[in-house]
Structures are given as structure tokens and as C-alpha cells.
A and B are shown apart, each in its own frame.
Chain A
Amino acid sequence: MSLTELWHKLGSPRWFYQMSTHWVWGFGIAAIVLLLAGLLWGLLIAPPDYQQGHSVRIMYVHVPAAMVAQSIYIGMGVAGFVLFVWRMKLADVAIAACLPFGMLLTALALFSGSVWGRPTWGTWWEWDGRTVSTLVLLFLYIGIYALREAIPDAQLRARASALVAMVGTINIPVIKYSVEWWHTLHQPASFTLTEKPTMPPEMYLPLLVMVLGVYCFAGYNILSRMRIEILRREQGTRWVRALVTAPTLTGQR
């Protein structure tokens, strides 16, 4: 199947629903395995840090949360671009599906970051490049959420949130760079998250596992939400009716 054929097929909700069935299962199982392994590894097996002691374990949940939260927003921006250029309705389904988990993950990143900061640097909150960027990310998410709540018409809601998502995505690197630049002026060379010293494999391997695990979990969550929304939007069609009224439990997947 060529790329253009694939692209056109993506516009079809039914095709997407059927294709994503395998992906949802795949992501779900991978997420369970990776997250279980990663959490236990980071909690029990990974070594404590020379300077920070055991609180470095929080890194294994904070960093994945922050990374994936940002990736999800950028995903929304890309979906917004797709909606504007190709008018693919599925892109709006994607944006709506990304929103809840993205916001939750950003909040988790902020919470875990704050909790990490307390034993490490003595404060519950520190305004540095990373914290400001993550907080702004939360506001970017809330902005799209509030916008969607305010527009009743489905098509206009789609275009407006796509526009805001695109603008926000372009803004993310600008904010990151400017705020980090600002804080390098003011903060002496202490250990900040922005400069990661070269990590030994005992530390970056569990981190990698956790990052992959959270990505897979996000994939599972977002695809599931997209599938639910597709069922809702296409409820008048024959294939949805057949799916919904299928007698067996396994037949409904």
C-alpha cells in the first residue's frame, strides 16, 4: 500500500477503527509489561544517586511524564495541521482524545517534579526553566480544553482547537529556550534537570523502559478514546450497529 493510499484510508473512520484494534491491544500489553518492569526496576533495583540519595528514583516517573505530556501536545499540533490542510475529521477526534490524558500527565509531571524538588533542593517549588515550561504546557492544555467547552458547533470547534494547538506547538520550543536562557543567567551551576550528567546504564535503562512504557500507555489511552468517539460519531452506520449489537463479548473488541 503506497503512502497516499494509506493517507486516504486514514480518513475513513471504519478503516481506522478496524486497524487500531490490533494497536490498542499491542500498546496495552506493552504498557503493562514495560510499566511494571520499569516501576519495579526504578523503585527497587536502580542505585541511589551519589548526591540525591533515593529521591532520584522520582526521576523514573517524573521525566517520562514530562516527556510524554509534551509529545502529546505536539501530537495535537500535528493533528491540527492535518485538519487544516487535509480537512480530515479524524484529526479532530485525535485532538479530543489527546486532551484528557495529556492534561493529567502534565499535572503528574508538575506534582512529581515538586515532590522531587523538596528533598533535593529544599523547596516544594522552584521557578526554573523546566518548571516554567511544564506549567506553561499545562496552561496550553487548559486553553484548548476551555476553548472546546465554549464552542458548541462541532466543525468550528474542530478548526478553532486545531488553530490553537498549532500555535501552541510552535510556541513550545520558543518558550523552552527563552525560559532556560533566562534561568541560566540567574542560577549558578547547580544540578538542574536541564543538564543531565552522563547517566550510567543502571540509571538510563530503567528510565528508557519507563519512557517507552508511558508512551505505550498513552498510545493505548488515546487510541481507545478515539475508538469510542468514532463509535459515537458513526452510530448511524451499518458497521457500528453490527458491532454494537454483536452477541459475544470478544466480538465487541
Chain B
Amino acid sequence: MNIGALWVREWRVLMRNRSAIYNPIAFMFLAVMLFAVGSPVQDNARGEYGAAVLWLIVLLTNMLSLDSLFRRDYDNGVLEQLMTTAPVPLLAVLVRIAMQWLFSGLLMALLAPLLCVLLGLPVRVIGATMLALLLGTPALSLLGAIGASITVGFARGGVLLSLLVLPLFLPVLVFGVSAVNASLGQQSAAPFYWLGFLSMLALSLGPFAATAGLKISLQMQ
């Protein structure tokens, strides 16, 4: 099974199951709308917290899409087959995570201009936001996959997933907000480097941990 076949397979599965893409994005816009409606009307108040709210919504949306990362294939036995027949299970897991990122993190980065406008962030921030999301969301997908892999066997794994995963998300949140605010206040490239570092760190640890987690979960069936 080469990488090409894995990609094609993931693509087909995702296309058959498009709600896994739409639901999180719909949630994202709903959350933005709720924030806009619930927050005070003056523009400055909304602007100050804009970056934080943006990243908070990104985090929660990511968690929503994580829950279904492995669950369907776990339930119908495909995951077990994949892990036992694939010559390198790690690769299969990596491809899956990459596909998930393409339709969550990358999608959010592309939608960043829309999000920034809706959240009341100034236009000059859009470039920084896109870059920050691009650099930071891979870490979210990779680290989140660790939590998803361990909790996929639980019927009500949702709360446990957030408990395990949110501490891992915290650094990304911190640097992500700083990165967005960097173009507003202090001009500093440091947060972007940090986001890149976090994603690299997640890339070096995440797939291994997720594969180990899946092996454990599959034995629980």
C-alpha cells in the first residue's frame, strides 16, 4: 500500500462523508455569530478580544472535527484492518491526520479574512492571521489526534477528549493570539516562529503517539 493509495482512500472516505467537513465549519460560523451578537456594540471592545475569540473558536472547531477523526472507521472495523494490513501503520495514520488538517486547519486559514471581518478585527491583521493559522493548526490536528486515538473506544469519549487535548492546545493558543496581535501592537515575528516550532514538535511526536493510542484502543474492542 503506497502513499498514493492511502491518499486516494482517505479522499474517497471523506467525500462519502462530507458532514465531517461541513459541521465543524458551520459550528465555527455559528460561534462567531454568537460572539458578535452577545458582545457589546462598541467596536474597540470587540477588537481587543477579537484575536482571543478567533483562536478560541478555532480550537473548539478543531476539537469538534477531532471526535470523528477515527470514530467511524473504528466502529466499522476498517481501522483495525488498516492497522494490521498496512506495512507502515504510522503512514496511514499520518495521511489521515493530514487529510483532516486539509479540511479543518487549512480551511480555517483560507477563511481567515471572513473570520477577521466578522469578528471586528482590523483589515491589516488578516495576513498575520492567515499565516498564524497556517502555522498553528497542524499542531492542533496532530496533538488532537493523540487524544482522539485514545478516546475513540469510549462511547462518551467527548468530554475526556477535551480534557486530554486542551492542555496540549494551550501553547498554540498563546502564541496564536500573540501572532495575530503582533501586527496590531508590537511588531514581533517571535510568535510565528514559536507556532512553527510547535507544529514541528507535534509532527515529530503526534503520529507515533496516535498510532500507539490506536493500537491500545483497538485492543479494547
Contacts from A to B (Cβ < 8 Å):
84, 132, 136, 139-140, 142-143, 146-147, 150-151, 153, 156, 159-160, 163-164, 166-168, 170-171, 174-175, 178-179, 181-182, 185
Q: In the assembled complex, which residues on chain B have CB atoms less than 8 Å from the CB atom of A181?
A: 174
Contact B167 A171 (CB under 8 A): yes
Interface residue B3 (Cβ < 8 Å from any Cβ of A): no
Minimum CB–CB distance for B194 against chain A, Å: 7
Q: 10 new A-B pairs (CB below 8 Å) besides A163-B150, A171-B168?
A: A139-B163, A143-B167, A147-B150, A160-B150, A160-B213, A163-B216, A171-B167, A174-B198, A174-B201, A178-B194
Interface residue B13 (Cβ < 8 Å from any Cβ of A): no
Interface SS of B by simple majority? helix
Minimum CB–CB distance for A151 against chain B, Å: 7
Contact A174 B146 (CB under 8 A): no
Contact B168 A143 (CB under 8 A): no
Q: In the assembled complex, which residues on chain A have CB atoms less than 8 Å from the CB atom of B163?
A: 139, 142-143, 146
Closest 3 CB pairs of A and B: A178-B171, A182-B174, A178-B174
A-B CB contact pairs (8 Å), 7 listed: A84-B212, A143-B163, A147-B150, A147-B160, A156-B216, A174-B201, A185-B178
The docked-state distance in angstroms from the alpha carbon of A164 to that of B76 is 26
The docked-state distance in angstroms from the alpha carbon of A150 to that of B161 is 12
Known contacts A178-B171, A182-B174, A185-B178, A151 near B220 by CB under 8 Å: yes
Minimum CB–CB distance for B59 against chain A, Å: 14
Q: Tell me which of B175, B205, B219 contacts A178 (CB under 8 A).
A: B175
Q: In the assembled complex, which residues on chain A have CB atoms less than 8 Å from the CB atom of B198?
A: 174
Contact B160 A175 (CB under 8 A): no
Q: In the assembled complex, which residues on chain A have CB atoms less than 8 Å from the CB atom of B170?
A: 132, 136, 175, 178-179
Interface residue B164 (Cβ < 8 Å from any Cβ of A): yes
Q: In the assembled complex, which residues on chain B have CB atoms less than 8 Å from the CB atom of A174?
A: 171, 198, 201
Q: In the assembled complex, which residues on chain A have CB atoms less than 8 Å from the CB atom of B213?
A: 160, 163
Contact A182 B178 (CB under 8 A): yes
Which residue in chain B gives the minimum CB-CB distance to A135? B167
Interface residue B209 (Cβ < 8 Å from any Cβ of A): yes
Contact A168 B220 (CB under 8 A): no
The docked-state distance in angstroms from the alpha carbon of A151 to that of B219 is 11
Q: Tell me which of B164, B167, B201 contacts A147 (CB under 8 A).
A: B164
The docked-state distance in angstroms from the alpha carbon of A159 to that of B201 is 22
The docked-state distance in angstroms from the alpha carbon of A84 to that of B186 is 45
Minimum CB–CB distance for A141 against chain B, Å: 10
Which residue in chain B gives the minimum CB-CB distance to A181? B174
Beta-carbon contacts of B139-172 to A below 8 Å, as 1s and 0s? 0000000100010001000001001101110110
Contact B167 A136 (CB under 8 A): yes
The docked-state distance in angstroms from the alpha carbon of A220 to that of B139 is 39
The docked-state distance in angstroms from the alpha carbon of A102 to that of B163 is 17
Q: In the assembled complex, which residues on chain A have CB atoms less than 8 Å from the CB atom of B216?
A: 156, 159-160, 163
Q: Tell me which of A139, A156, A163 contacts B167 (CB under 8 A).
A: A139
The docked-state distance in angstroms from the alpha carbon of A132 to that of B173 is 13
The docked-state distance in angstroms from the alpha carbon of A150 to that of B213 is 15
Known contacts A178-B174, A182-B174, A163 near B220 by CB under 8 Å: no
Which residue in chain A gives the minimum CB-CB distance to B161? A143
Q: Tell me which of B146, B167, B205 contacts A140 (CB under 8 A).
A: B167
Q: Tell me which of B166, B201, B219 contacts A156 (CB under 8 A).
A: B219
The docked-state distance in angstroms from the alpha carbon of A82 to that of B51 is 41
Q: In the assembled complex, which residues on chain A have CB atoms less than 8 Å from the CB atom of B178?
A: 182, 185
Q: In the assembled complex, which residues on chain B have CB atoms less than 8 Å from the CB atom of A167?
A: 146, 168, 205, 209
Which residue in chain B gives the minimum CB-CB distance to A139? B167
Which residue in chain B gives the minimum CB-CB distance to A158? B216
The docked-state distance in angstroms from the alpha carbon of A107 to that of B219 is 34
Q: In the assembled complex, which residues on chain A have CB atoms less than 8 Å from the CB atom of B209?
A: 163, 166-167
The docked-state distance in angstroms from the alpha carbon of A151 to that of B157 is 11
The docked-state distance in angstroms from the alpha carbon of A132 to that of B171 is 11
Which residue in chain A gives the minimum CB-CB distance to B155? A150
